[in-house]
Amino acid sequence: MASTIYDIANKAGVSIATVSRVFNQSDSVSEKTRRKVLAIADEVGYHPQAYAQGLASKKSNTIMAVVPVISNYYFMEVLGGIQDKLSENGYELTIFNISNDRNIFEQVEHVLKRRWAEGYLFISIHLSEKEWSQLTRFNVPITLIDEHFEGFDSVSVDNIQGAYRATKSLLDMGFKNVAMLSALLSSKPIRDRLEGYKKALNEYQIPFDKKWVVAGDTLYRDGFTERGGYEAMRKMLNMETPPEACFCASDIQAVGALKAMEDVGKRIPIIGYDDIELSEYIGLSTIRQPMRDMGFFATQNLIDRMNNANKAISQTIYSPELILRKSIS
């Protein structure tokens, strides 16, 4: 079996994002690391420009995953599913990291213009319908993950329904003042999860009060971090009347929230979102979204599109599952 960037990353002791940056000739990698990665690539017979040679035959056997950040449990799980499928089909994976400091649409255009791969997986890249529509002119196979546009194949989860189920579960237990531990309000996952949170409150005829939607630091990863969760929970517990329970927009934020409660010596029931592997071990109730399956089946959709450009567009929306553990007791 051909070596992949995962093999090179393991041998070099670096992340797959670093390997990808080396192959993309990024200036953000040290010369020592660059030489080490390239030496290992040569040793295992991995040639990052092989897909460039394949363009002449219009068959590169390379798929590119375009992601906003890779050092995140959600993206690692999705990428794991992608690699599971690619390993069955003889394709290689390369990764392009979108920078939050530059215009996202322009970066996506740049990627597609360069024709670095035969097909593209866009993971949690959120553009307007007009912008997605403009990208159809490139006429290349594209599948969206955690996003939806009628012109492309897509695999996503119903975030509104997931947040609704989490919030409703807490309301069903008799709690009235249920807070939402949020992140950057302009991010699409948060907008959808906030809508689900409001939907549950409305069903119980509880007026929405924005004071119960609390975020910590949102500068890094839009606030989807342990630190963001820690800071938000400290704010909640310092309120004159703290919330009785809390829906956390992600498991990783919930980890920080649990630490804040431990430090303050106060505890309220919480439910997270994602069901990362750590959640089971710390007893975190959560909303499970099938991250690895999403990556696997999105890649299957993309390969099918690469083999048959005229096939009907496939759009899969997973229904999230409520997982109850000790964090609500």
Could you please state the CATH topology (level 3) that the domain comprising 5-157+292-317 is classified under. Answer: Rossmann fold (3.40.50)
d(CA 273, CA 161): 12
What's the pTM?
0.77
- pLDDT per residue over 317-329, tens digit each? 999 999 999 999 8
| Per-residue pLDDT at 10 | 85
Which CA distances in Å does 1 have to 51, 54, 199, 302, 311? Answer: 17, 19, 50, 21, 30
- pLDDT per residue over 104-124, tens digit each? 899 999 999 888 899 999 999
Q: Which residues of 273-285 are buried (b: 16+ CB within 10 A; e: fewer)?
A: bbbbeebeeeebb
More confident residue, 31 or 306: 306
Tell me if 152 sits within 8 A of 142, measured CB to CB. Answer: yes
Arithmetic mean of pLDDT over the chain? 89
pLDDT over 70 percentage in the chain: 92
- pLDDT of 231 > 70? The answer is yes
Tell me if 166 sits within 8 A of 192, measured CB to CB. Answer: no
pLDDT over 90 percentage in the chain: 65
Rounded to the nearest 5 percent, the helix, strand and coil shares of the chain are: 50, 15, 35
Q: Does domain 159-289+323-328 have CATH number 3.10.129.10?
A: no
- pLDDT of 53 > 80? The answer is no
d(CA 274, CA 58): 38
- pLDDT of 56 > 50? The answer is no
Q: Where in the chain is the domain with CATH 3.40.50.2300?
A: 5-157+292-317, 159-289+323-328
- pLDDT of 154 > 50? The answer is yes
More confident residue, 242 or 5: 242
- pLDDT of 49 > 70? The answer is no
